Amino acid sequence: KHQKERKKKTRRIKMKVMEYVLGVASVVLNDNNVDDTKPAQFLDYDSGSNTDYSYYVFRMQYPGSYCQTSYCNYDLQQKLLPNGFKIHGFWPSGTDGNNPQDCRDSSFNQNDLDSQTLEAMNTNWPSDQGSNDSFWSHEWTKHGVCAENVPGYGSGYLSEEEFFSFVISMYNKWNPTEVLSSNSNYYHLDEINNAFQQAYGVIPATTCDYQDGKAWFMHMSLCFDLSLNPMTCPDASSSCRSSDKIYFGDLEN
């Protein structure tokens, strides 16, 4: 009888020990069960260390060419006037390809923008595929919320108004529309690269779209270091072929 009771007691102790071990293992597993859809440094919005980037990409698009390769009704073309380069986005970027996104929880609110900033955005930062508000919301919540310690704005993150007014100021300074102004209706890639090299000291990354064998200039990306000096983009390349005539599309007035 005593032997049976000792065996029962031993089994109870073993069960308690096993429950404790499983409980500890569960805590460890839960602590490691992080959302791996985002890089680790972007998980803790309150840490202040969730932005890890080494340069900026300033991407601009040419709506006239977009409307040559995609359908643009009259109202959309009027919205995109005047013809020339428009802003696509200004993106904190990392040389290792680990580009910060969605760094903090801050929704877009057009009412937080100064009236002059909003007017400049409507002219120079229009969406060619939907409402301006949706486009700006995407650029802010994905990229703008990651911009911090920008020269001229002190330390810390930029506010919504600071970010958009800053990008507009960069556009006013680096707008490439006049760089290629001439009577020619097409260029070769080396002419485009030489013009940008003379104007900026660097050759940007460029993108062409081909429609019925004709090359249309779509995008250019200028890169800047963290002091906002132009630099060669780490992934600088061009989808435009050097032997092609490259056209810049017109919008209907």
Q: Does the pLDDT value for residue 2 go beyond 60?
A: no
Q: Comparing 96-100, 203-207, 247-251, which segment has the lowest mean pLDDT?
A: 96-100
- In single-letter form, the type of residue at position 224 comes to F
Per-residue pLDDT tens digits for 123-140: 999 999 999 999 999 999
Residue 119 CA to residue 109 CA, distance in Å, equals: 15
Output the pTM of the full model: 0.78
Strands 86-93 and 55-61: antiparallel
Q: What is the mean pLDDT of the chain?
A: 82
Return the pLDDT at 182. 62
Return the pLDDT at 180. 80
Q: Does the pLDDT value for residue 201 go beyond 90?
A: yes
Tokens of 159: 């506010």
pLDDT: which is higher, 212 or 121? 121
pLDDT: which is higher, 16 or 222? 222
pLDDT band at 29 (very low <50, low <70, confident <90, very high): very low
Task: Give the mean model confidence (pLDDT) for residues 99-118.
Answer: 95
Q: Is the dihedral of CA 66, 71, 76, 77 positive or negative?
A: positive
Per-residue pLDDT tens digits for 31-82: 333 333 333 232 232 333 345 899 999 999 999 999 999 999 999 999 999 9
